[in-house]
Every structure is written in structure tokens, then in C-alpha cells.
Amino acid sequence: ASIAYRQHLWRYGFGVAEAMDTAQRAMGLDWPQAITLIERSMDAARDYRGIVNGPLVAAGAGTDHLLLTSAPNIDAVIAAYEMQCAAIERTGARIILMASRALAACARSADDYLYVYDRILSQLRQPVIIHWLGEMFDPALAGYWGSRDIHTAMHTCVQVLQQHATKIDGIKISLLDQAHEITLRRRLPAGVRMYTGDDFNFAELIAGDTHGHSDALLGIFDAIAPAASQALEALALGDLPRYQAILAPTVALSREIFSAPTRFYKTGIVFLAWLNGHQDHFTMLDGQQSARSIAHLSE
């Protein structure tokens, strides 16, 4: 059923960001399961004939096989990233460099982040997508980039992007704050994309402004693929009113699914998959189907 759902997304022209937080990464899906899922998705992508040159699959590389109880150090974080990146490269998938709980736990300054990302990015074969996941999605990532002040953290993030622009396809920012995303988008080096992770304001961010736009790497697109596909086609044809009309109802849905505590949004995504007949049960890893109330699911 999982692979069939990937094929469902490919039929609408989407790529797949595999083994990320939407797949319950670090919330029930461990690294051995994640790499198996990545391998199976890549096998399915090679067999898929609906897209010229095959569909795009990018996969999350992190450090989640490190146990935080073992007090990891910076060298252990680097080794963990290296191991997962190498495993994903062997499958042929693109890499999304996920934020690391272990790095957030052991880093003592912004310099530790600069050092780790320099070591990893300098080794990779293809440009990657960096993922800045906010604490509303994962409380263990509070203070990422070495500061709880968003502007200080953003400065460190921009340093990484500038120093390694040729190694970076883009950055996915998941802070659920439109202003922060636009600010960072305007500071990106030439050739580096902004991938919106703002499931509250995605319609406006993708449409863009006179200074640029955001591409989409969104959990909500998992649930609204038919509508999102039509909307993006309208936008590509320059029909902004149709784009806005199609996506407007889905924004309200997304804001409900991603309401606080946001990290439990996966329950809503899986609930919709079940309602739409993509799986024959409503059961999730670690019992996460119980993470949301009946009132929420009814709404």
C-alpha cells in the first residue's frame, strides 16, 4: 500500500520526499525501516513508466540511529550523517539532509553547525536539499543553527548556503511563518531554491511576489495531490485566479491538519489516506492514530 501511494503521487506528476517526517521518521520509523522503504521506493521508481526518465525520489538522511541517551558528540554526528548519506547514494535517490536531534543536543555554538555541514556537504556527489525543521514539528530541534533567536539562526544557515552553494539544490524551511521564509528566500545565493514547508501559507508562497517564489516540498501535498496538481498546472499557464480558487479550500484543510501540536499532523494525513481508500485500516506506527481527537478527525 505504501508503494502504491507513491505511484498515486507520481501519476499526478509529483516527486516523492521519502522517509521524512511525514513517514513518521523519528516517530516510529527507525533507520533500518527507513532505508528499506527508500530502497523499495527506488525499485518502484525504476519500474515506473509514467514519467520520462523516471519519477524523482529524494530521501531523508539524518542521524536518527544515534541514541540521545548515549550523549553523542560532534564526531559521532558526522559519522552518522556520512553513513546514512552513503546508504542513500547507493540507492540512487537524491539526498535531503535532515535536521539532526543529536546535533542540536551536543552543539555548543553556531561554529559546530558550520563544521558539521561543511564536512558532510563537501563529500556528497549531487546537490542536496537542506531541511530546517522547526521546533513546532519536533521540540528536540529547538535552537537549531546554534540559537533560539530566529535571525541569529538564519544568519548561520545563510553562511552554510553561501559557502556550499554549488552543493545545495535548495533549502526546505518548515517554520510555519511566512515572513521568515520570505526573508530567507531573498537572502539565498543564486541557483539555490527555496522549498516551502509552510503548510499554513503555501498557496501565497508558491505564487510568489516580485522578488521570487517558493517551490513546494510539503506534507499537505501528500493529501491533496489531485487538487495541487491542477492548481500548479494553472499557475504554470499563468492562470493565477484558477490556481487560487483550487487551492483556497485546501488551505483551510491544511491548517486543521497541522494545528498544534503540529508534530501529530501525520495522523490527519493517514486518516485521509484511509478515507480515500488507499489503505484498508487506520493504524500507524507507535499507535499514532490515537494522537488526534475524534473532534479533530471529524472536522
Cα separation, 242 vs 246, whole angstroms: 6
What would the mean pLDDT of 32-56 be, rounded to a whole number?
93
Residue-wise pLDDT tens digits, 241-269: 999 999 999 999 999 999 999 999 999 99
179 and 138 Cβ atoms separated by less than 8 Å = no
pLDDT at 69 > cutoff 70 = no
Cα separation, 59 vs 93, whole angstroms: 6
Q: Tell me the pLDDT of the chain averaged across its residues.
A: 96
Neighbours of 87 (CB within 10 A): 17
Residue-wise pLDDT tens digits, 191-244: 999 999 999 999 999 999 999 999 999 999 999 999 999 999 999 999 999 999
